[in-house]
Structure 1
């Protein structure tokens, strides 16, 4: 039985593409059953459509409370019956009103190591510290999202990315994104393996 994945993305969706490709090659026993975004112009939607994956745009309303948006988002993706919800470049902090719908089933990809650089623009912030002589490496992690903490949930996998002497921001970003793709697939594979052990008599 393949793991049914719903991906939430706000931008280009390169990590979504990595999941789609891994599903297609059999690298992971999974299927992307839906992609949702808060950004109507997100390229992730085009990636999903190209592969005949259901999509939904849940745009925030004017002056809408976060809990209201999150409830609408949960109601939108629930019919897809996800086994796993993957936050892959989804730029909104989710509240309990969303998380409670998918207990122990939400994971987030964050471009920093555990306990470092929580929040947005982690790649740029890490590079800025490198240029200032205050950082020699950063990394990527995938973690569960059990609550409203920012990049603080139980870590599934992490991988360091070391700066090179003459790195530009673009150079570093490219290595970070390649690591993101690799680590995300590895983390999903780990989750599938763990769930199979639980369900196997």
Structure 2
């Protein structure tokens, strides 16, 4: 369990034991995905002492909430339904139970769908989570999807006229400061190239 005693926000995604990263979609749907994506980057923040936390999706901007019926969903406004008790279990996995509705746990099914929290317990695998650092999250947070799309369009323009598969070697004029393409004004540093590979726009360095 991550320490929440500091005033700083914890940015991470969470990996559930059955093989999914928890994600909060923009339409409020809660689910799981095998590979981390923009919707699985979560912000966990302390609300009270004793492990009471809130969880918010970075991309969707929605707070994770749990209804009295045990239905997990994303909401634009924070409420008492968005308060969770974070508990470290004996096996070092973490569980999240609703503070407003005791005995209701956050869980994902084997299909990656949110399970009704009233039908599961703290000792079931589907309720166990492990914290994982989101890859390149610091870089991701500095760039909106619009900026990344615009950058990809620039890459597409650079690719015009290149018949072979685009590789790093096709970028010319290598200097100590970075890599410059044949198109004037477009400069890629080695860091840019490596980081973009995670998003899937480029091959490995």
Shorter-chain TM range is under 0.3
Taking structure 2 as the reference length, the TM-score comes to 0.25
- Higher strand proportion (structure 1 or 2): 2
Bigger radius of gyration among the two: 2
Taking structure 1 as the reference length, the TM-score comes to 0.26
